[in-house]
Each structure stands twice: as C-alpha cells, then as structure tokens.
Chains A and B, each alone.
Chain A
C-alpha cells in the first residue's frame, strides 16, 4: 500500500498518446482531402513565388531590393538591404536565401489574407473575439517545435507543410493587432462617420481601417518576424532554405556552415524588419 502511494504514477498510466494517435489516425483517414485542399493553394503560391524569385538574375534582384528599401524607407535602408543580400550571395547561399524569402512571403501573404478579416470580425463582435481569444493564446504560447508534430501527421513533410506550420505560428499578432487597432479608433470619429451617413462598409474602409493601419502594420511586422523564425525551424520537417544550412551544419559539427546560415537568417530578418517598420511609420497618422 505504502509502496503504491510512493510510486503513484506506476499505478495507472493515462493512455493519452494512444488517444491522440487514434484521433490523428481518424483525422488522416477521414479528413485527408481537407488537409490536402489546404496544402494545395499554399504550395501553389510558394512555388510560384520561389520560382519567380529564383528566375530573377541576382544583380537585378539586388537593384530591386535597393529600390524597395529606398521607397519604403530611405536610401540607406535600400543600400543596407542590397548589401546584406549580396553578402549572403557571396557566401554561396543565394538560392537558400531566395527559398527562405519565398517561404516567408507566402506565409505572410496567407496570414494577411486570413488574419486581417478575422481581426476585423473580432473587432466587430465581442462574442467572436471571446471565442478566438483562447485559440490565439494557445497558438502564441505553444513552443514552435510542438507545432511540427501535428503538421507532419496531417500534412506530411516538406516545404509546403513547413509554410503551413509557419502560417499557424505567425497568424496571432496580425489578428490581435488588427482587432486592437480597430477597437482603438476614437469613438467620436466613428460617430462622425455614422452621423454623415456611412454604411457599415464605408465606415470600415474610410474611417476605421485607415486609423487602425499603423497598428495593423505593427502586427504585420511581428507576423513577418515570427514567420522568419518558424521557416528556419521548419527545416526540421524537411522545409528548404537557410534553416537547412544551419541544421546540417549542426548535425555534422561544421561550425562554419552553421554560422553562415545563421548570418544569412539574421541579415534577412534585419532587412525585413527595417522595411516593414518604416512602412508602418509611413502609414501612420501624419504628425500624430
């Protein structure tokens, strides 16, 4: 008796693992078409973006990058972006860089496509917000690695599933900040919109959305940063790009290889951050 109490956990084993396996088996067995249907558009976009990026000759890409950085922020950011990408290219990782960039861009595109409408709904309906809030919290607090397990089971491995894991991981900030931005629009400005006879759609697009845009852009920035961290981790489930360089370097104890992969990721992160941050500033209220 005493022995049983002391070794409490040997008395009973909760078969959670078997339950989950049963659930996943059932999901895969019955819902496979659904998961394939989710995977399809993601992979289409991903492949298109990747092929597009890789089709552009590197020098032209660098010039484009300079122009984007310059228009979005200033010539220094443009120069920094072009220089960073060139450095990664000279380290021999141009293709990996483009793949990672393609993954981030497609993941972010889906986050925006899903996240902003969900954020708008959440701002308009307290009930809906109460419903999705725990889901957002769960997404955000679950460690990145934990995502990979169900993703692999439901979508199998590869770059496409990697992007799906990234979408799920990076979605919460843009939903949250869209919701927050819309809720923070001053009440009297909304009243003014209504008083002058806005329809709900006019109110959203002419008044609320523009005023929420700085907040939404901040959400976009966070979403981009989160997706970059996730596309690297997604290398674990067979996604391509710079993450692969880091992991293979680690596995083979090739410090140099792992390090240049890491440097490439950091530079990409800095470039994306600079550009989206100044975009967020530019969409801000003049003077406010």
Chain B
C-alpha cells in the first residue's frame, strides 16, 4: 500500500476559496481567478502517491506551489479540495485533535530557515517534538541525544542555536525531526539556505541516513541537481500544477513538455542516464550450439558484422565477427574456437559516465546484462552519443542502421 496518496488536491488562498473551485472546474485560469475573485491558486488538482521508504522530491521554481503542497500534507495549510490518505487513512476529514495527534506520531518536518527555538539549547530543541507529546524528560533526553549523535552533533547539546553555523543548525533541525521517529519526513527546501559545499555534504549524509532508516521522505527543492541526486522519483511543479512525475532518468530522457525539457537542459546527462535507458533490444544472437551457417544467416539478415553468443540461460559467452564465422565455415571448425571474450558488459543501472569510456574503446556494441549475466540489450555508439546530446537521442536511435550488433 502506498504511504501517501494524494488525489485532486487543490489549495486556493483568499476569502471564501470554495468560490474559486467552481470557476476552476469551468476552465477559468489562475490569472482570471486572481483578477475576478481576488483568490490565489496555490495548488491545483494535483495527484500522486509516495511509496513507503521512497525519497520523493517535489521540484519547482518559487511560486510553483511546491511548499504549499508540502504543507497540505500535514495540513499546516488546509486543503480546499481533494483527498490525502496516509497509510490509507483519509486525513482531510480529521478533526483538530486527531490531526495534532497525527502530526505528533507520523510526521517530522525540516524547514528552510531551520526554524529552531532560539531561547532553547540544542538538546532542548531536539527534544521539542517529544516534549509536546508529553514524553517523560529522561526518556526524551535520551532520544534527543541519540538523534544528535545520528546527525553528527554529539557534544553540542548545551549550545544555543545562534552559536552554530548554518549547516549545524540544519543538522539540529534534522535531529529534531528524527527524534520523534516519524515514518514521514517533510523537508521544505531543507538545504537551500546552506552554502554549496555544506549543502553537498548534507545531501550525502541524508542519503546515507536514509539508507539506514528507510523513512518516507518528501523533499522540496528548486534545485534540479539536488532533485536528481536525492530523488527516487521527482515531481515537477509549475503554476500550482504537476507537470511530470518520474525517475530522474525519465525526466531527463523523456521530458513531458518544453518546460521540463528546458529545466533539464543544462544537466550533465551522463550522470543521470543509465545504460538501461538507452539500451536497445538485440536483433540477433546465436547460442553456443548453433553452427556457422545459422550465424551467417542471422548476420546477413540483420545486416550486422558481429554477433553475440549466448548459452542456454542467455548468458553472454562472447562474440564472433563475420570473418570468424566465414573462417570457421571454410575450415569446418567449431565456432567455439573463434569465440572472442574481449568485451565488457554493463548492468542496466550503470550510469552513462561509466559506459562512455567502454564505448570509446570497444569495437563491438556494449552488452547490457542483468545480475545473472543474462543479456538484456546492447548499447551502440550512436545511441550513446545521441543520449548525451541535450535534445535526447530517441529519433537517431530509431534510425540507427547498425542496431543489433557490430560497428
């Protein structure tokens, strides 16, 4: 079951926002609503779901409604319409007391400007969530110390927030959220106020923490690189609407529209795309029991000059060039004597920046194999270059005459 399911979520700001709802359904635009009714549309008919343990990033420029969307999830902003289910429980219908209870047990939140309590020590700040729940002092202090250790701030318990650098303050913010042991972490531009170096460090540490804790994280950012680095999936927002949801690769390789395409244009595609995204099905292979005539026939039929040899489990044994096969046929020798093993396979999730050096060196296409060594597809040089060009390589790939094997 999905952790969070959002359906048709709409948030309109202003006096009596339900008036705007009807107008939106009639097809009125955001701008029209602002002019005619003085209402501001924050989020407009957004639906998505987040799986348990997923790192879900919501990305958009300022004013795109991403922070509003996040605040609807724990009802810091009251949704105007739509449904939000956490573990199957509809939360938009909860009364105030149940909502307070839900916030205490299920959510931890991290804020862009840290939002620490300046009159409390670091330890007391981290205790805050548990204190509000009424956890006895000794137990919450223990949990707070543990959370501080987790974010690498052991020993700073008695300092005040203003004595800490920005990065350290945000660690306190993170520890405060972790101390209540929530299943869901809401992070609102959590690293945006930090300078780039500290920021990268925090991103790495968050990923490391996430690998251990396996929380469901909803992370807001305006920074594409951050989104691509952190997100299992990314939702792109624009003007209060969801433009596209997908893995980092999908956004880069198959942008839903020009907006996303423009967004992802500057990305180093080699760091985002993986072998699986650009590999193509293999046109022709032979097994280790086939003879030279079968091999020649398949190669001629597909217009390729080399062919992969697989065993019965479809594991790649090696490859043969057309010359090898012809030689084997003339001298009536088994193909196995000619088998070439000087190839290097990659897995589908290998990033392109690691595939490129192989592609440059190889004289045959690069086989893509799964964990069991079975052939899944191949990457030809043309596809590699096409994928790295910002425009995306789909069309070039389709027309590649050498699809299959050979170069």
Contact = CB atoms under 8 A, between A and B. Distances in A.
Nearest to A286: B160
A250 interface: no
Interface of B: 71, 74, 76, 100-105, 107-109, 111-113, 115-119, 128-129, 131-133, 160, 162-163, 176, 180, 186
A288 B160 CA distance: 10
Given A197-B129, A287-B160, A188 B112 contact: yes
Interface in A196-227: 196-199, 202, 206-207, 210-211, 213
6 contacts: A192-B116, A195-B103, A196-B103, A197-B129, A198-B132, A287-B163
A210 B162 contact: no
B118 A285 contact: yes
B118 A288 contact: yes
Of all A-B residue pairs in the complex, the 9 with the closest CB atoms, nearest first, are A197-B104, A287-B162, A197-B103, A195-B109, A192-B115, A188-B115, A196-B129, A285-B118, A286-B160
Nearest to A187: B115
A189 interface: yes
Contacts of A288: 118, 162
Given A188-B112, A202-B132, A286-B160, A197 B101 contact: yes
B175 to A, nearest CB: 13
A194 interface: yes
A191 interface: yes
Contacts of B100: 197-199
Interface in A135-191: 186, 188-189, 191
Given A188-B111, A202-B132, A206-B132, A195 B119 contact: no
B389 to A, nearest CB: 43
Contacts, number: 74
A273 B235 CA distance: 58
B180 A191 contact: no
A11 B393 CA distance: 97
Contacts of A194: 76, 103
A212 B186 CA distance: 27
A188 B71 CA distance: 12
Given A192-B109, A195-B186, A196-B132, 15 more contacts: A188-B113, A195-B74, A195-B103, A196-B104, A197-B102, A197-B132, A202-B132, A206-B131, A206-B132, A207-B117, A210-B117, A285-B119, A286-B118, A287-B160, A287-B162
Interface string A255-288: 0000000000000000000000000000001111
Nearest to A192: B115
Contacts of B115: 186, 188-189, 191-192
Contacts of A193: 132
Contacts of A198: 100, 132
Contacts of A195: 74, 76, 103, 107, 109, 186
Which of B74, B104, B118, B160 gathers the greatest number of chain A CB atoms within 10 Å? B118
